[in-house]
Chain A
Amino acid sequence: MTINGWLQIALVIGLVLIAARPLGLYMAAVFDGRRTLASVALGPVERGFYWLAGVSPEKEQGWLAYTGAMLMFSALGFASLYAILRLQAWLPLNPQGFEGVPPDLAFNTAISFLTNTNWQAYGGETTMSHFSQMAGLAVHNFLSAATGIALALAVTRAFSRGAAATLGNFWVDLTRATLYVLLPLSLLVALAFVATGAPQTFAGAVDAATLEGAKQTIALGPVASQEAIKQLGTNGGGFFNANAAHPFENPNAFANILQIWSMLTVSAALLVMFGKAVGAERQGWALLGAVGVILLSGVALVYAAETAGNPLLAALGLDPAQGNLEGKELRFGQALTALYVAVTTGLSCGAVNAMHDSLTPLGGFVPLFLIQLGEVLPGGVGSGLYGLVVFAVLAVFIAGLMVGRTPEFLGKKIEAREIKLAMLAVLILPLAILGFSAVAAVLPSALASLANAGPHGLSEILYTYTSAAGNNGSAFAGLNANTPWWNVTTAISMILGRFGYVIPVMAMAGSLAAKKKAAPSAGTFPTDGPLFVGLLVGVIFIVGGLQFFPALALGPIVEHVLMLAGKTF
């Protein structure tokens, strides 16, 4: 680790913190339906959309109707995306002449983009036409992120309102999130990406004659526009197979900083908005603090592990000062790579600028564990901060009793119904991750996909289901996931991780919204101070993470001690 490295990390965090507040306040205004500068241009578009869709924006929905609308929208989105992928050979903008995507892969991919997972069992540049990338995948980069923001709004209103029957209108929230937040930001960020070197063209590929006289086919495409929303929406589905490690997706350190900034800022702004909406900006910052503590611990561990490097390689004479460079790009450096690794997994983005499969055992342990914690840091844009709220509710419940009152979070009493729903949500991840992993670990046809043997192979299995159920999308990419078993089981994991989580959380939001808002007093459990931050971090670790330790002990943890002992597989 170097001072320069930490300075770069600090710079990115600083840029995020500077932007989070104004963006958060802007979002609070937009979702309140207040007029903003953008309303001049976008107001008529918004109203036009409602008119065409037959939506009365002032008519609000209860949790059931809100969730129903979200499910219907997702179902149609799935159907259309599946159709586009299957039929891409007959659709326009297919300069490379790709075939239709096979059924199991199309199913997996459609679920993947719908659930904001953006798990890619395919290589983009060898599978997808430009039309599939733009009108299929990129659209869902927007829509799954907007859906996540909408869900975040619903959860926010559960706390900001007292004795309310409704949580807002899904169609309105979805439309505003896309029109006022994601689209303008994407436009700006996309152009910034082009400025750093990301291509934006409808040409399929160019052939170059290399200096040695060979032919090099360089895949091109509308990269920057997809890159922007992929990062801003914490989607992570890259244009190319190597994702943000590809020099076109992520040309240099500036692009890399912009990538990390884009992942973090909207999520951080959502927390500011949450605080603003519940009437205590401090609350938003406290949640952000908890997120920051976990995230930065993760960054530090990855950074330390990767700069310490692989002793097996150092023994062969490789310069240990450079750290572990297998699967990394030189232009990012160890510090920003470590930051990227932790942020993309903590935030449920899933874009990668290094191959996670080749990280050192502890370096790989961090992203694995961060995803397993659930979508809490703060859940990313695509999953609407609900993971964090679930844990805040649990933390308040467990420790809140210690102040001698029925636990309440932001004035809402936490009772049996909320706990039941929160636990139901928390149960989904271990069930999907450990359940499928345990089966795959003994299934010969599944094991045939592994690229690595020994504990690392188990890590690949764990990572695959973790990424799917956690709706992350990054991978220990050595595992060949494009087989029927993996395509189907990861798709099921993605569905469980998304809808199995969201439905109980929305039911909880409905139940909380209906409660009266208790007035705060000196006897109220304070949820905006450092004490709460520490408590929340503890509960996230213990309730959200501890159950994975036996599995992790057999994967990255044992691999670490074996590596130190000089064992290979």
Chain B
Amino acid sequence: MTQHLRPALVLLLLFTALTGLAYPYAVTGLAALLFPNQANGSLVIRDNTIVGSSLIGQNFASDRYFQPRPSATSTPDPADSSKTVDAPYNAANSSGSNLGPTSKTLIERVSAAAQAKRAEGWQAPLPADALTTSASGLDPDMSPKNALAQVERVARARGVAPQKLRALVETQISRPWLGFIGEPRVNVLALNLALDALH
């Protein structure tokens, strides 16, 4: 075994330098040169402030905005660091709910949310994405159905004509490339930015 010691040690060091440092620095350099916007997180800037990333969902609780999918992300409890508290769209700690299909917790959560939606006037079938948490808790998108279902509420809150909002939603739907690559979806942040821009 001792004859293996030198090659093992030397190659480990060389490869750590090559793949652990040279490689990421090279990619970072090239990325900054070729795709600076993406490399820095596809940040969205309005009035010189970073309002988010076009790839990362953010929480909208107000009726004045289109609301994204529920998020299962959490943050350490300020009172007890061994526990966590819900913190939707915490982009520093991505996470899904990890609830299984026969989980009582899941069924109760969805049931309560569905009731709330119905109370809001939504008709069955309810857009499934509006009631299920995403895998990362940071899903930036919602389904067109989900967006359209929220038009009435947002229109009421903002006092604009629902048709106008419906048309706005239509413009924000990104469709599959070549008709089959990808899914039809609406970027929530982009939609809400466009909504704010209406005024």
Contacts and interface: CB of A to CB of B under 8 A. Distances in A.
Contacts of A73: 4, 7-8, 11-12
A138 B24 contact: yes
B100 A322 contact: no
B27 A218 contact: no
A471 interface: no
A216 B58 contact: yes
B94 interface: yes
A194 B51 contact: no
Contact of B51 (A210, A222, A228, A568): A210
Contacts of B39: 194, 199-201, 224
Given A225-B28, A568-B102, A358 B52 contact: no
B92 A218 contact: yes
A512 to B, nearest CB: 23
Contacts of A497: none
B1 interface: yes
Nearest to A569: B102
A455 B103 CA distance: 10
B93 A216 contact: no
Contacts of A71: 1
B21 A353 contact: no
B150 interface: no
A229 B19 contact: yes
A155 interface: no
B169 interface: no
Contact of B11 (A53, A123, A201, A454): A53
B135 interface: yes
Nearest to A182: B19
A344 B97 CA distance: 20
Contact of A322 (B40, B51, B129, B192): B129
B135 A353 contact: yes
Contacts of A75: 8
Contacts of A456: 100-103
Interface stretch (A325-333, A370-378, A393-401, A432-440): A325-333
A379 B43 CA distance: 38
Given A142-B15, A178-B19, A330-B129, A355 B98 contact: yes
A218 B125 contact: no
A518 B24 CA distance: 48
B160 interface: no
Contacts of B157: none
Contact of A135 (B16, B100, B106): B16
Contact of B143 (A52, A241, A322, A332): A322
A524 to B, nearest CB: 39
Contact of B60 (A54, A211, A476): A211
A186 to B, nearest CB: 7
A301 B163 CA distance: 41
A73 B38 CA distance: 37
A569 B92 contact: no
Interface residues of B, number: 103
B20 A317 contact: no
Contact of A219 (B10, B32, B91): B91
Interface in A243-270: 245-248, 251-254, 257
A29 interface: no
Contact of B43 (A139, A206, A325, A354): A206
A58 interface: no
Nearest to A3: B180
Q: Which of A141, A208, A455 has the most CB atoms of chain B within a 10 A radius of its CB?
A: A208
A360 B12 contact: no
Contacts of A452: 98-100, 102-103
Interface string B64-108: 010001000000000000000000011111111111111110110
Interface string A152-196: 000000000000000000010011001000010011001100111
Interface stretch (A4-12, A403-411, A422-430): A4-12
A126 interface: yes
B50 A209 contact: yes
B110 to A, nearest CB: 6
Contacts of A559: 100-102
B9 interface: yes
30 contacts: A4-B176, A53-B11, A68-B4, A123-B94, A123-B95, A134-B21, A139-B16, A183-B18, A201-B31, A201-B41, A205-B92, A206-B41, A211-B192, A211-B193, A214-B59, A219-B91, A226-B24, A241-B93, A247-B140, A248-B53, A253-B177, A327-B99, A354-B135, A355-B135, A358-B97, A358-B99, A358-B101, A452-B102, A455-B102, A569-B102
Given A123-B93, A216-B52, A476-B100, 11 more contacts: A134-B20, A139-B20, A191-B30, A200-B28, A242-B135, A257-B181, A312-B102, A327-B99, A456-B101, A459-B100, A478-B98
Identify the 4 closest CB pairs spanning chains A and B, nearest first. Answer: A478-B98, A245-B135, A253-B182, A456-B100
